[in-house]
Each structure stands twice: as C-alpha cells, then as structure tokens.
Amino acid sequence: MDGLLYLAAFLAVALGMAHSLLGERYILRRLFRRGDLPRLFGGTEFTTRTLRFAWHITTVAWFGFAGLLALAGRHGPNASSMLQVIGVTFLASGVLPLVLTRGKHLSWVVLFAIGGIALWCAG
C-alpha cells in the first residue's frame, strides 16, 4: 500500500510538471499572442500575469497533494506534518500572484495568511 501512495505522489508531481510546461508552451503563449485580451489596469500585462499565475497555481496545489500522499505512505501523517505541507503549499501559491502580478492581485495576502496560520498551528 505504501508503494502505491508513493507512486501516486510521483504521478501527481509528474502531472503538475507536465501541466505547467505543456500549458505554458501550447496554451498560454498562444493565448497571449492574441490581440483581444482584456485590458486591466491600463493594459494587458496584468491580464497575462494573472492568467499565468492562475494556470501554475494548479501545479503548486498538485505538488502539495503529492506531499500529503507521500506523508500518507509513511504510515499515516499526523496533524502537524499535514499542516506543514499545507502551509508550505499555500505560501508557495502566494508567491505566484505576488511575483507575477507584482502584488497587484491581492490573493497573495490571503494565501500567505492561510499558509502562515497552518504553519503556526503545526507548532
């Protein structure tokens, strides 16, 4: 059973990597070449940066799930270790909108708060 959970964790990481790499190459780049993207905050830069972080945040979430699967493979995670994985996942998720939208998309504040609370409660 543990081996299957580790396999599932590996597959979640592989899926996340494929999602980000292939999505960037075949979907996002082509989408951003279009001339009809919505102009937010005076241009399309905020739109493209928001779409990019929204796309890649899925990968970060899948990496977090992979961490939880790997913990489960270690004979069942305890609450503290699960909260650590969840906290790091939310902090990593918060970096995306902070960096890619240069802080204009305020979801990073909430994502950092969730991550910080989870890590604080992990002890």
The encoded tokens of residue 40 equal: 């937010």
Q: State the pLDDT at residue 42.
A: 82
Q: What is the pLDDT of residues 102-123, one digit of tens each?
A: 999 999 999 999 999 999 999 8
Helix (H) or strand (E) holding 20: helix 2-23
Q: What is the pLDDT of residues 49-96, one digit of tens each?
A: 999 999 999 999 999 999 999 999 987 778 899 999 999 999 999 999
Domain housing 93: 2-122
Structural domains in the chain (count): 1
Q: State the pLDDT at residue 40.
A: 86
**What separation in angstroms does the CA of 71 have from each of 43, 110, 116?**
44, 26, 20
Q: State the pLDDT at residue 74.
A: 85
- How far is it, in rounded angstroms, from Cα 77 to Cα 7? 17
- How far is it, in rounded angstroms, from Cα 108 to Cα 4? 34
- How far is it, in rounded angstroms, from Cα 50 to Cα 105? 7
Count of CB atoms within 10 A of residue 76's CB? Answer: 9
Whole-number average pLDDT of the chain: 93
Q: State the pLDDT at residue 2.
A: 85
Residue where the block lists tokens 């082509």: 30
